[in-house]
Amino acid sequence: MASASASKRAESKAPGPKHNIEAMRQAYYERIAKHDMTPLWKVMKNVVTKEPLTRCAPVIWHYDDIKRLVMESGALITAEEAERRVLILENPGMRGESKATNTLFAGVQMILPGEVAPAHRHVSSAIRFVLDGEGAYTAVEGEKAYMSPGDFVITANWAPHDHGNTSHKPMLWLDVLDFPQVNFFETSFAEQFATATQPTSRADGDSLSFYASGVLPDGAPAALNRSPVINYTYARTRPIIERMMKAGDVDKRHGARVRYANPINGGPVLPTMGANLALFPKGFKGEKYRATDGTIFVCAEGEGATTVDGKVLEWGPNDVFVVPPWKHYSHRVGKESVLFSISDRPAQEALGIWREDTPSH
């Protein structure tokens, strides 16, 4: 009503006969368009929306489909030929854009025994969460990290990285990259190295041991916007959420949850993406929550259901699902369960635009 009377007022003040004003405006819009100008008043409510608008849909990929289809790709192309043999988990609300959320890419990569994914580097940062297999490695900045399921590995902006599998089983992991953010700013660079594998200058586990043990190497930097730790192992992190649960530190929405931290400053592991690991006790029925970060979840253990915007996503081991920005969601589990998650919250916080809707906490 208010806007209708406001437009009446505007019309009565506008020059020319009333019936003519629309035609005059239209002619004016066409004239200014030739000068690459356009009226804000036609689009204002679309560009500064009252609440977040998202094209991102709540969606789940079940691991039995992922594994079957990714394994098929092994017979069609080698890791070396593909450079990275990854199936993109593409949000149905944004097909053709290689995105799981508006700001994050997600895909599942497979390395077969004996294969190498050659060394390269790029501005986009990556997070890997190991789903299947044992003992394949990723080499990052001179350190080879041999990986196990539940391990979480980071590759920071411009860090050289290659992968290989010296084990006897395929390894599959979830890749999450921030390239939609990098490409939003149009700041992507990438390069390949002349040799497929990089020389090793540090032992497996060095970065975790040096930086995440309550001590720091003498002379470690006092500020670093990305974690110096390459591999956060499940073996080290899982017992911590168990202790939290036993201590009664179980959030009504998020369970017994830790945030993977940069040991230099307690900040997020990467400036563009953050990660959490949460344990839900048997029978947990979470309260509703929403925040402006879009989140990718992976089930590390157990089974449960997450209701997102009224849609029920039922998950089990290694299933991957997406909660879009600003949609209410809640988790519930039967048996004790663990969810790993990744979101763009650090980027939003750095820009001062992150919000959560949490009236009673």
Q: Output the smallest distance, CB 149 to ligand 1HN, in A.
A: 17
Integer-rounded Cα radius of gyration of the chain: 24
Residue (136 or 256) nearer to ligand 1HN, CB? 136
| 287 half-sphere exposure, CB direction, 13 A CA radius | 10
Q: Output the smallest distance, CB 28 to ligand 1HN, in A.
A: 45
Buried residues in 88-99 as b, exposed as e (16+ CB within 10 A): ebbbebbeeebb
Q: Output the smallest distance, CB 107 to ligand 1HN, in A.
A: 6
Using the rule CB under 6 A, which residue among 99, 161, 253, 327 binds ligand 1HN? 161
Among the listed ranges 23-31, 37-45, 102-110, 144-152, the one in contact with ligand 1HN (CB under 6 A) is: 102-110
Using the rule CB under 6 A, which residue among 60, 70, 86, 111 binds ligand 1HN? 86
Q: DSSP letters along 257-315, please?
A: EEE-B-TTTS-BSSSS-EEEEEEE-TT-BPPPBEESS-EEEEEEES-EEEEETTEEEEE
Residue (133 or 304) nearer to ligand 1HN, CB? 133
Q: Find residue 122's DSSP bridge partners.
A: 190
Backbone dihedral angles phi then psi of residue 80, each to the nearest 5 degrees: -65, -40
What gap in Å lies between CA 298 and CA 320, rounded to an integer?
5
Q: Output the smallest distance, CB 110 to ligand 1HN, in A.
A: 11
What gap in Å lies between CA 301 and CA 303, rounded to an integer?
7
Residue (161 or 226) nearer to ligand 1HN, CB? 161
Both tokens of 23, joined, read 């035609």
Using the rule CB under 6 A, which residue among 61, 99, 104, 107 binds ligand 1HN? 107
Cα–Cα–Cα angle for 147, 153, 155, rounded to 5 degrees: 130
What gap in Å lies between CA 115 and CA 356, rounded to an integer?
44
Q: Using CB under 6 A as the criterion, what x/- string covers residues 173-212 for binding ligand 1HN?
A: --x-x-----------------------------------
Residue (163 or 257) nearer to ligand 1HN, CB? 163
Using the rule CB under 6 A, which residue among 25, 67, 84, 254 binds ligand 1HN? 84
What gap in Å lies between CA 132 and CA 18, rounded to an integer?
70
Alpha helices in 188-281 (DSSP H): 206-211, 234-246
Residue (163 or 290) nearer to ligand 1HN, CB? 163
DSSP letter assigned to residue 255:
B
Q: Output the smallest distance, CB 168 to ligand 1HN, in A.
A: 21
Residue (105 or 326) nearer to ligand 1HN, CB? 105
Query: 131: buried, middle or exposed (CB in 10 Å: 19+, 13-18, 0-12)?
Result: buried
Q: Output the smallest distance, CB 175 to ligand 1HN, in A.
A: 4
What gap in Å lies between CA 331 and CA 223, rounded to an integer?
36
Using the rule CB under 6 A, which residue among 109, 125, 292, 341 binds ligand 1HN? 109
What gap in Å lies between CA 280 and CA 342, rounded to an integer?
17
Judged by CB under 6 A, the chain residues 126 through 145 that form the site for ligand 1HN are: 126
**Total of residues contacting ligand 1HN (CB under 6 A):** 11
- 108 near ligand 1HN, judged by CB under 6 A: no
Which residue's C-beta sits nearest to ligand 1HN? 175
Q: Output the smallest distance, CB 161 to ligand 1HN, in A.
A: 5
Binding site for ligand 1HN (CB under 6 A): 84, 86, 105, 107, 109, 117, 126, 161, 163, 175, 177
